[in-house]
Chain A
Amino acid sequence: MTESDLSRPAPAATAYQDRPQPANLADILERVLDKGIIIAGDIRVNLLDIELLTVKIRLLVVSVDKAEEMGIDWWRHDPMLTVKERGLAEENQELRDRLEELESAQGSGSGKGSRQGTRQGSRGG
């Protein structure tokens, strides 16, 4: 058996990490779904569907907000992906509660605030 030099020496603890096993799912998905050569297979009547699904994933990888705008929210049913979201919602609610508390504490405060004249865009002729 010849040992090829393909196995690189184990890296010392440096800034980079040798490819972890298993690799980050986001890294893999952005590569296998969005990169690589495209060769039309025989299973292609549903290519449109596959593209659609791919777009969903791509949106997930790119921006959840954007996907939500488009009404794509299938990952919500996936517990794996919704853990952190709950944290955000909680923080949001907490902030709202605090704000309400604050507002009621102030009673009927005067509507001060930095009101700045809004600059109207002047239309050039």
Chain B
Amino acid sequence: MSNVNVNVHHLTRVEGHGNIVVDVKNGELVQCELQIVEAPRFFEAMLRGRPYYEASHITSRICGICATGHATASLRATENALGVEISEQTELLRKLLFHGEIIDSHVLHVYMLVAPDFFGVGSVIPLAGTHPEVVKRALRIKKLSGDLCAMISGRHTHPIAMTVGGFTHLPTVKELLDMRKRLVDAREDMDETIALLATLPWPNFERETEYVSLKKEDEYAFIDGAIATTDGFTYELPDYRKVTNETCVPHSTAKHTHHNRESYMVGALARFNNNYDQLHPRAKEAAEALGMKPIVTNSFLNSGAQAVEMVHCVEDSIEIIDELVDRGIKQEPLYEFQGKGGEGVGSCDVPRGILFHNYIIDDEGIIQGANCVIPTGQNYANIEADMRALVPQILDRPQKEITHMMEMLVRAYDPCISCSAHFMTVEFV
């Protein structure tokens, strides 16, 4: 086939609005774009003039899926700006809450958004009839992670109890122990998840790129740490702009980023490639069952890395709860503003990848400037690079199949368009 026109308007089973446009004339790729048509919402501008303590509540509204991730990055930025130290208890509770969100987001993506592609259906709904055990397992894991988040912050989407310096509500030891039992029981669902993914025919597609994530020596990094890349670069958080280098592109309401190459990748696969050593032993076993060992260069296997992370988060959550119960839950005084502002950068590696919040707060506690760099935005250039590499490899296939492969590729990144627009539809013109 010498001419191919793919034109997917409002790509489905992703969060937000985007279009895929592929135009091949006489066997030559003329146009290959991921157009982001999501309405921009201007969060950074909206934060100006608001009191510092509202920032985490406003920015959690950037995204319904990674609301906790945004709130956590926001709080870390605020705390770094104001010089707030957080207690070990707060750190442990935030990690536990964050694990809840990682599991919640990954189970949604792997089971409800990606799995239908492999069963040849358009959504998870027909699977409820044909594969009820799969759907029920997904809903069971989702409920577990949602309940874990609710136990700590009131609810998963738009956490309530997280605040600058600590929590306005604490879980009881009994709640923690009940949750621990459910997490132990969830090991069976994790095993089944890995077994299911091991049977799926992941597309063969290799393209090496630079993988960027947070890194810590002593743990699999989700909150704080340094910025590390598989090309050997390391940066402290305040230097995040040296990595992100944001630019506007005409076909996208989300900015693009690049570092050492024309593009880089963030997310579960990037974390897996950078931080494999710090994974829980059970998560390493899961990776082995999926045939994954770093460096994995097949972007479709981002979903595999997500499943590995789910195993890790279940195991680490059990350990965190043990530590919390051992220490005992204590009421701690909340932060009070000290009349001195400053600038701070906060970073978390949220479900879709590394996220930065950067605030300038004045001596009245009012936000004067804000910048947020969103994971999906950082992936767009890399998604387009993958699209350009993949299209020539599958040009001999029927157009319907090409379209489907392109949609699957973009979906593998688990793009969160509403976050990044400041996302998606496939258009073959």
Say whether A and B bind each other.
Answer: no
Give residues in A with beta carbon < 8 Å to B.
Answer: none
Give residues in B with beta carbon < 8 Å to A.
Answer: none
